[in-house]
Chain A
Amino acid sequence: GNSVTQMEGPVTLSEEAFLTINCTYTATGYPSLFWYVQYPGEGLQLLLKATKADDKGSNKGFEATYRKETTSFHLEKGSVQVSDSAVYFCALGLSGDGGYQKVTFGTGTKLQVIP
């Protein structure tokens, strides 16, 4: 079946540090890949996405590159801020019977940025 594996959290970084959150996937097919972010007390928000191999998704200083050869979609940011503290979810979307796209989410990685 389809699955997403994220690095265990929590990840604690100092402000302006470099961030990497690892994500690998298993899929029977050619998925689209997403990163969602969840701030405390809120729902998930799409952060970025990539739909084919070697695509780079980017938003708000975050980047992730779709690596088909390593089945990975690692999230990176060059300089984190306290406001980036949240839970980050990696997800894959794969079309199934009837054309619908089922999304499989990872377990989430909590990021805490300290001043």
Chain B
Amino acid sequence: DARVTQTPRHKVTEMGQEVTMRCQPILGHNTVFWYRQTMMQGLELLAYFRNRAPLDDSGMPKDRFSAEMPDATLATLKIQPSEPRDSAVYFCASGLWGENQPQHFGDGTRLSIL
């Protein structure tokens, strides 16, 4: 089965460092989503793309987070500078544009900011 691939699976770094998370969507999928999951807030949508163009990034702290799709096979989420409150599991998901289309999730990047 085709899968969404996320790297790294785990990341531990110190406050103030730049963090880059990568996602390879399923080939042929034209929408990509970034989510953050924490115990307190649950699953939060940070941003999503259609055909590599950002459609909605209202859930993302603009001052430190940025999301891009340099090409159809790579999506990136960057945090600069990172803060302890950014510690969470970050998920990428991909899917097909349109109604009733499910999202296919990667296994996530577990981020710890010390």
Q: Decide if B34 is an interface residue (CB 8 Å cutoff).
A: no
* Contact indicator A100/B105 (Cβ below 8 Å): no
A58 to B91, CA, bound (A): 25
* Contact indicator A49/B98 (Cβ below 8 Å): no
Interface string of B43-74 (1 = CB under 8 A from A): 10100101000011000000000000000000
* Contact indicator A101/B106 (Cβ below 8 Å): no
A34 to B105, CA, bound (A): 14
Interface string of B74-114 (1 = CB under 8 A from A): 00000000000000000101000111111111111000000
B93 smallest CB distance to A (angstroms): 7
Of A32, A43, A103, the most chain B CB neighbours within 10 A belong to: A43
**A43 surroundings in chain B (CB, below 8 A):** 4, 91, 93, 105-108
Count residues of B near A (Cβ-Cβ below 8 Å): 23
**A36 surroundings in chain B (CB, below 8 A):** 105
A107 to B44, CA, bound (A): 10
A105 to B93, CA, bound (A): 14
* Contact indicator A100/B97 (Cβ below 8 Å): yes
User: Which partner residue on chain B sits nearest A96 by CB separation?
Assistant: B56
A91 smallest CB distance to B (angstroms): 9
Choose from B91, B97, B99 the contact partner of A32 (Cβ within 8 Å).
B99
Within 8 A of B (CB), among A28-45: 32, 34, 36, 41-45
Give chain B's interface residues, CB within 8 Å of chain A: 4, 31, 42-43, 45, 48, 50, 55-56, 91, 93, 97-108
